């Protein structure tokens, strides 16, 4: 920094003000300092900066099963929001959800002196593991259990399922069959709840949900069963990947979609508009979730966790060609 100051003909303090985007620097002085930074190839010493500010400008993220679209998109949204806010991100992806694994991940992040932690915890079994969060460490949980004493940001899964089910009922379908996700997932619980409540409120039959595991293979198996059943005209799959499997099974069985059976998914993955037919689905805005996570976390970092916050992001509904009025 002293070399930059000498090159630009300014004081060390002026260089510091430019680097920290302080408003009280003349435009020509700022330009001169920035040109000197480029010429000299100056880079901040983040370790030294952390010693002075007591902040590492790094946030930790603990995630589970980032091979799935939802968790992977969630982590990406958090990372992008953190970088926009001027923070680096250190990610730990765990294979299993248990208190010991979470504790090890948090210990690893603590060794890196992260300023705060985001935990992507979409499974019910993660609830007890969240007790491993050390007191005093700013933390936010994404899709976390409702009872945890920690700030949380989540998407309204119940509302998303309600939108999907209501859309099919409004098209004149007598009831809606559901291909559910894995039983331990909070998203599964929310989507089943929204689907069932909407049918019950309309006084419609509530079929037994078909089990799934988020994979196209599970959707394919469910689709084969549905293709051989009488009276099925509408299906709501708990994610787009399972909806893809349902579409494949129905196509092989000669069941036209949406001619005989309408299909709705959940997630709005990038490929869903290119399915055959293009998939009607519930869209989750992971960028908004990521932004809210970082906003809540930075408030805790700046002011301390005075009160736990819970932010709920409303999903939207995308109508494409896989649904049509009942015949």
In this predicted model, what pLDDT tens digit does every residue of 286-302 receive, in sequence order? 889 989 999 999 988 88
Q: What is the pLDDT of residues 104-130, one digit of tens each?
A: 888 888 888 899 899 887 877 766 667
Q: Mean pLDDT throughout 137-162?
A: 83
Q: Please tell me the predicted confidence (pLDDT) of residue 131.
A: 66
Q: Please tell me the predicted confidence (pLDDT) of residue 132.
A: 62
- Phi-psi group of 222: left, alpha or beta (phi > 0 → left; psi -120 to 50 → alpha; rest → beta): alpha
pTM to 2 decimals? Answer: 0.80
Q: What value does the mean pLDDT of the chain take?
A: 88
Q: Please tell me the predicted confidence (pLDDT) of residue 51.
A: 45
Q: Please tell me the predicted confidence (pLDDT) of residue 148.
A: 56
Percent of the chain with pLDDT over 90: 50
Q: What is the pLDDT of residues 12-34, one digit of tens each?
A: 889 888 887 778 888 999 899 99
Could you write out the DSSP letters of every residue in 91-107?
EEEESS-SHHHHHHHHH
Q: What is the pLDDT of residues 43-56, one digit of tens each?
A: 766 545 544 545 67
Q: Mean pLDDT throughout 219-239?
A: 97
pLDDT(269) > 90: yes
Q: Mean pLDDT throughout 247-270?
A: 97
Which alpha helices (H) appear in the chain, and where do they start and end?
2-8, 12-19, 27-40, 46-53, 69-84, 99-111, 126-129, 157-170, 186-201, 216-227, 240-252, 286-303
């Amino acid at each position: 920094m002293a070399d930059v100051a000498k090159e630009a003909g300014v004081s060390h303090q002026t260089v510091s003000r430019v680097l920290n985007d302080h408003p009280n620097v003349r435009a020509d002085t700022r330009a001169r300092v920035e040109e000197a930074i480029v010429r000299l190839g100056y880079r901040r010493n983040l370790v030294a900066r952390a010693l002075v500010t007591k902040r590492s400008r790094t946030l930790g993220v603990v995630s589970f099963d980032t091979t799935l679209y939802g968790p992977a998109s969630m982590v990406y949204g958090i990372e992008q929001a953190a970088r926009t806010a001027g923070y680096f991100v250190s990610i730990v992806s765990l294979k299993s959800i248990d208190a010991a694994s979470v504790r090890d991940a948090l210990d690893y992040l603590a060794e890196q002196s992260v300023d705060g932690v985001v935990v992507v915890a979409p499974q019910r079994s993660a609830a007890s593991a969240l007790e491993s969060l050390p007191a005093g460490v700013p933390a936010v949980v994404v899709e976390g259990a409702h009872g945890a004493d920690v700030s949380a940001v989540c998407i309204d899964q119940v509302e998303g399922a309600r939108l999907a089910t209501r859309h099919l009922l409004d098209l004149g379908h007598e009831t809606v069959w559901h291909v559910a996700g894995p039983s331990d997932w909070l998203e599964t619980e929310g989507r089943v709840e929204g689907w069932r409540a909407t049918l019950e409120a309309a006084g419609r039959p509530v079929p037994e949900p078909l089990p799934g595991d988020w994979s196209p293979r599970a959707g394919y198996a469910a689709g084969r069963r549905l293709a051989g059943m009488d009276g099925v005209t509408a299906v709501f799959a708990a994610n787009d990947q399972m909806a893809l499997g349902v579409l494949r099974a129905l196509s092989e069985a000669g069941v036209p979609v949406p001619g005989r059976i309408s299909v709705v998914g959940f997630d709005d993955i990038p490929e869903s508009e290119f399915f055959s037919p293009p998939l009607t689905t519930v869209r989750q805005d992971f960028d908004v979730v990521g932004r809210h996570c970082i906003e809540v976390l930075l408030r805790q970092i700046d002011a301390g966790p005075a009160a736990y916050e819970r932010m709920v992001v409303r999903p939207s509904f995308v109508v494409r060609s896989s649904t049509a009025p009942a015949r």
